Amino acid sequence: MSKAEWENNEEIKIFREYLRIPTMHPNVDYTACVEFLKRQAASLALPVDVLYPVNESNPVVVMKWEGKQPELPSIILNSHTDVVPVFEDKWTHGPFSADLDDEGRIYARGSQDMKCVGTQYLAAVRALKANGFQPKRTVYLTFVPDEEVGGHLGMRELVKGDYFKKLNVGFSFDEGIASEDETYSLFYAERTLWHLKLKFGGTAGHGSLLLPNTAGEKLNYVVNKMMEFRASQVKRLEEDPTIDIGDVTTVNLTQAGGGVQNNVVPPLLEVVFDIRVAITLDLAEFEKQIRDWCDEAGGDIELKFEMKNPYVEPTKIDASNPYWLAFKQTLDELGLKTRVRVFPGATDSRYVRHAGIPALGFSPINNTTILLHDHDEYLRASTYLHGIEIYKKLIAAVSNV
Q: Are 366 and 178 in contact (CB under 8 A)?
A: yes
Catalytic (active site) residue 217: no
* Cα torsion angle, 288, 293, 299, 302, sign: negative
Q: Where are the alpha helices (DSSP H) in 105-200?
A: 115-130, 155-158, 162-167
CA dihedral 8, 130, 141, 313 (to 10 degrees): -110
Contact by Cβ (8 Å): 147, 80? yes
Cross-sheet strand order for the sheet of 192-201: 250-258, 268-277, 192-201, 301-308
Distance CA 243, CA 250 (A): 14
Which one from 11, 82, 148, 157 is the annotated catalytic residue?
Answer: 82
- The string of DSSP codes covering 198-214 is EEEE---EETTS--SS-
Residue tagged active-site, from 11, 113, 146, 147: 147
292 is catalytic: no
For residue 281, the number of C-alpha atoms closer than 13 Å in the C-beta half-sphere is 22
> What residues are annotated to the active site?
82, 147
